Chains A and B, each alone.
Chain A
């Protein structure tokens, strides 16, 4: 079973162990659910949920050449962004393969906080050291000295506001600010991985204060675990690094071309990206909604006549749609939303159709939803 002894613990481990079903994930002992993935999922869609995301890597980048280093590292023009922006971007290799996806918090020119995937952190750091050779800057891995909690859902503002003096309703999406949460110095960023409005809080010196913050948040939000985190992000159409993309995938294939700043040059991978942009991708990440059955990682996708056109990279049951949903890669020219496809579920070709992201109606669910008329 799980290698409990060698896995790391987050500052909220005792809560998880007592209340949740534990699994090993990216080197950490983490909860897969507390009570029910379905209930946790719908708590986030309808109210608010909290997630311990302390396993995510957190890395400070500072120093005289930090701004230049950041420009060299990413396809997104972060230099021209105002201070306080939280930018979703990608780390690319020379072939424009995706090393990781991450959020860069630009505190100010020369001062950045990168939030990376747990399983990718070590390779990200190696890549960053290679790219930064000769530049004067410092990388500090602050993962172990901070706690990170996500609060997500339409009532995230109400649930978090009592704990912080920061006026949350005034914050724009994809911005962040330094403040306190229950009196503890924290970074609050209006980002997340569920499709909903919400925040991610990075709490400093957290070992003592994390549990108090978690318990205070529980007054307005439901504890949610990795199972719900995965079904929520999939329903929102957000890719998972390692499943839906890796170093063999480029941003155009991953449907993440929007992170590339067109006017930008001289970052790792840009020459390859320039020629790829000319050629166009040979496969593209797309969503599929099933009539019946649940697609899973590795299942084949065919056109309606049965010819193989792609592979599922993530699949689950959508609690909102009450159907199987998937994302995967289909050959270009890729089918468009509404086009029929089949997914081969354990030898049975099963009907589905290409869907747009997010899978749900974004006027009813997600951060774009219209305010409730009650």
Chain B
């Protein structure tokens, strides 16, 4: 099947192969999981998040996201210090399903080595390619 991807991949974000995104604004980065990840997990019911002040490393696990059925690791797109977590998710984890790129953001980071690490992240176009190859695997 060569249908266009049924998943949202907004411009202006950086992506990981593990289906996280980062939105860099000034000196901070908001982090969440992609529409594909949210839809694949189905109903998100629980998160385990790092405390503010925790140092995270690029592509290392910083927490977990759970659906009814399964637990998934959350990988940091960028190294840095956690400066905020989305408190709304405590009582409304479904915000990640409803709005994965906005109301469903997960943590906020102060990146420590932004310029060099940015280069290893995927552009929207590259991430679309990752999703296409996953889709091809499903169809084979």
Interface digits, A5-39 against B, CB 8 Å rule (1 contact, 0 not)?
00000000000000001000000000011001111
In the bound assembly, the distance between CA atoms of A61 and B71 in angstroms comes to: 42
Residues of A within 8 A of B42 (CB): 21, 32-33, 36-37, 227
- Asked if residues B68 and A319 are in contact (CB atoms below 8 Å), the reply is yes
Residues of A within 8 A of B71 (CB): 294, 296
- Asked if residues B46 and A324 are in contact (CB atoms below 8 Å), the reply is yes
Residues of A within 8 A of B138 (CB): 1-2
B137 partner, pick from A1, A39, A41, A296, beta carbons under 8 A? A1
Residues of B within 8 A of A230 (CB): 69
Residues of B within 8 A of A36 (CB): 42-43
Judged by a CB distance under 8 angstroms, whether A231 is at the interface is yes
Judged by a CB distance under 8 angstroms, whether B86 is at the interface is no
B66 partner, pick from A21, A33, A317, A319, beta carbons under 8 A? A317
Chain A residues with a Cβ closer than 8 Å to the other chain, count: 21
- Asked if residues B68 and A227 are in contact (CB atoms below 8 Å), the reply is yes
Judged by a CB distance under 8 angstroms, whether A189 is at the interface is no
- Asked if residues B46 and A293 are in contact (CB atoms below 8 Å), the reply is yes
Judged by a CB distance under 8 angstroms, whether A372 is at the interface is no
- Asked if residues A227 and B45 are in contact (CB atoms below 8 Å), the reply is no
**Shortest distance in angstroms between B93's beta carbon and chain A's nearest beta carbon?**
10
Judged by a CB distance under 8 angstroms, whether A316 is at the interface is yes
Residues of B within 8 A of A1 (CB): 137-138, 140
Residues of B within 8 A of A37 (CB): 42-43, 67-69
- Asked if residues B69 and A38 are in contact (CB atoms below 8 Å), the reply is no
Residues of B within 8 A of A324 (CB): 46
Residues of B within 8 A of A130 (CB): none
Judged by a CB distance under 8 angstroms, whether A346 is at the interface is yes
Interface digits, B27-42 against A, CB 8 Å rule (1 contact, 0 not)?
0000000000000001
Chain B CB within 10 Å — which of A41, A227, A296, A317 has the most? Answer: A317
Residues of A within 8 A of B64 (CB): 346
**Shortest distance in angstroms between A215's beta carbon and chain B's nearest beta carbon?**
24
In the bound assembly, the distance between CA atoms of A20 and B39 in angstroms comes to: 12
In the bound assembly, the distance between CA atoms of A36 and B98 in angstroms comes to: 12
Judged by a CB distance under 8 angstroms, whether B99 is at the interface is no
Residue of A nearest to B94 (CB): A38
- Asked if residues B43 and A38 are in contact (CB atoms below 8 Å), the reply is yes
Judged by a CB distance under 8 angstroms, whether B17 is at the interface is no
- Asked if residues A231 and B48 are in contact (CB atoms below 8 Å), the reply is no
B46 partner, pick from A33, A38, A39, A317, beta carbons under 8 A? A317
Residues of B within 8 A of A231 (CB): 68
Interface digits, B112-139 against A, CB 8 Å rule (1 contact, 0 not)?
0000000000000000000000000110
- Asked if residues B69 and A227 are in contact (CB atoms below 8 Å), the reply is yes
In the bound assembly, the distance between CA atoms of A13 and B33 in angstroms comes to: 31
In the bound assembly, the distance between CA atoms of A316 and B48 in angstroms comes to: 15
Interface digits, A29-56 against B, CB 8 Å rule (1 contact, 0 not)?
0001100111101000000000000000
In the bound assembly, the distance between CA atoms of A33 and B138 in angstroms comes to: 16
- Asked if residues A294 and B43 are in contact (CB atoms below 8 Å), the reply is no
Residues of A within 8 A of B46 (CB): 293-294, 317, 324
**Shortest distance in angstroms between B137's beta carbon and chain A's nearest beta carbon?**
5
A38 partner, pick from B45, B66, B137, beta carbons under 8 A? B45
Residue of B nearest to A38 (CB): B43
In the bound assembly, the distance between CA atoms of A330 and B46 in angstroms comes to: 26
Residues of B within 8 A of A319 (CB): 68
**Shortest distance in angstroms between A313's beta carbon and chain B's nearest beta carbon?**
15
- Asked if residues B69 and A316 are in contact (CB atoms below 8 Å), the reply is yes
In the bound assembly, the distance between CA atoms of A179 and B64 in angstroms comes to: 50
Residues of A within 8 A of B68 (CB): 37-38, 41, 227, 231, 316-317, 319
Quick one: which of A279-313 are within 8 Å of B by CB?
293-294, 296
- Other A-B contacts than A41-B68, A346-B64, 14 sampled, CB-CB below 8 A, are A1-B138, A36-B42, A37-B42, A37-B43, A37-B67, A37-B69, A38-B45, A227-B42, A227-B68, A227-B69, A316-B69, A317-B46, A317-B68, A346-B48
Can you identify 9 A-B contacts, CB atoms within 8 angstroms? A21-B42, A37-B43, A227-B68, A230-B69, A293-B46, A317-B46, A317-B66, A319-B68, A346-B64
Enumerate chain B interface residues (CB-CB to A < 8 A).
42-43, 45-46, 48, 64, 66-69, 71, 94, 137-138, 140
Enumerate chain A interface residues (CB-CB to B < 8 A).
1-2, 21, 32-33, 36-39, 41, 227, 230-231, 293-294, 296, 316-317, 319, 324, 346
- Nearest first, the 9 closest Cβ-Cβ pairs linking A and B are A317-B45, A38-B43, A37-B68, A317-B68, A1-B137, A36-B43, A294-B66, A33-B42, A37-B43
